[in-house]
Amino acid sequence: MNLDRRAALDLVSSLRRSFGARNDVDVAFFPPYVYLAPVLEACQGTSFLVGAQNASEHASGAYTGEVSVSMLKDLDIPCVLLGHSERRHVFGETNAQVHAKVRRVLDAGLQVMLCLGETLEEREAERTEVVCKEQLCEALRGVTRAELSRITLAYEPVWAIGTGKVASPEQAAAVHTYLRGLLSGLFDDSGAQSTRILYGGSVKADNVADLMAVPDIDGALVGGASLATSSFLPILEGALR
């Protein structure tokens, strides 16, 4: 819940000049609902993807304040971010709700950016793998092998989000490798290898290259550092080193 309309469009415009025509890195924006249409328009003619930060598990009806997947599809929004740690831990979304949302998005033919990750307490209790397995398996329950091609995972350790703490490349690698192994068991090796798994958690220009050098890390879900060109552009450039 950051930036206003002008700042959002200025950010897109600035990045468009640097990365809008490039095909060596994929860039996606997930603006607040009220700015989806103008940001989508500003990204026309570029390689940029625009997605929504959330969607309702309900198709329609008396759910004041919610936004349905069909509404997003009507705006030609191709992707929805689901299961973000703030949705889970601030707003109390359960694994079952995340699963229902994944199902809605996939049934509408859209893409899913699925977030998962453990809290500090869960990591210290050595429950990282248990928590990630529960979140992943419930979210993907009933998902077909064909549908997997429209899903991107984002591992975001809650203890590293906005705290300045970053999972070391070794810590991140361990979880990413574990998640890919889970995907292989749920689907097959080919599906697991072709699924992108991003890392999110205090990603900055000075750590992105080391993180992206990890074989099982395919990209980054960038938080606060994505709000200004001065901090986001170096991350995009650093990811290619």
> pLDDT averaged over the chain?
95
Residue 6 has pLDDT above 90, yes or no: yes
- Mode of pairing for the β-strands spanning 79-82 and 28-29: unpaired
Residue 162 has pLDDT above 80, yes or no: no
| CA 103 vs CA 61, 96, 142, 143, 175: distances in Å | 18, 11, 8, 8, 25
Summarised one tens digit per residue, pLDDT across range 103-154 is: 999 999 999 999 999 999 999 999 999 999 999 999 999 999 999 999 999 9
Give the model's pLDDT for residue 129: 97
Would you call 176 a catalytic residue per the annotation?
Answer: no
DSSP for 151-167 reads EEEEE--GGGSSSS---
List CB contacts of 7: < 8 A, sequence separation 6 or more.
none
Residue 178 has pLDDT above 90, yes or no: yes
Summarised one tens digit per residue, pLDDT across range 107-118 is: 999 999 999 999
Q: Among 84, 99, 118, 147, which one carries the catalytic annotation? A: 84
Q: What is the mean pLDDT of residues 74-100?
A: 97
Q: What is the mean pLDDT of residues 205-232?
A: 95
Q: What is the mean pLDDT of residues 9-23?
A: 91
Would you call 138 a catalytic residue per the annotation?
Answer: no
The torsion angles phi and psi of 113, rounded to 5 degrees, stand at -105, 100
Instruction: pLDDT band for 188, please (50, 70, 90 cuts).
Output: very high
Summarised one tens digit per residue, pLDDT across range 49-72 is: 999 999 999 999 999 999 999 999
Give the model's pLDDT for residue 44: 95
Residue 18 has pLDDT above 90, yes or no: no
In the structure encoding, which two tokens stand for residue 170, read together?
């070794």
Q: Which domains does the chain have, with CATH numbers?
A: 5-236 (3.20.20.70)
Record the pTM: 0.96
Give the model's pLDDT for residue 166: 77
Give the model's pLDDT for residue 141: 98
Q: Among 57, 93, 122, 156, which one carries the catalytic annotation? A: 156
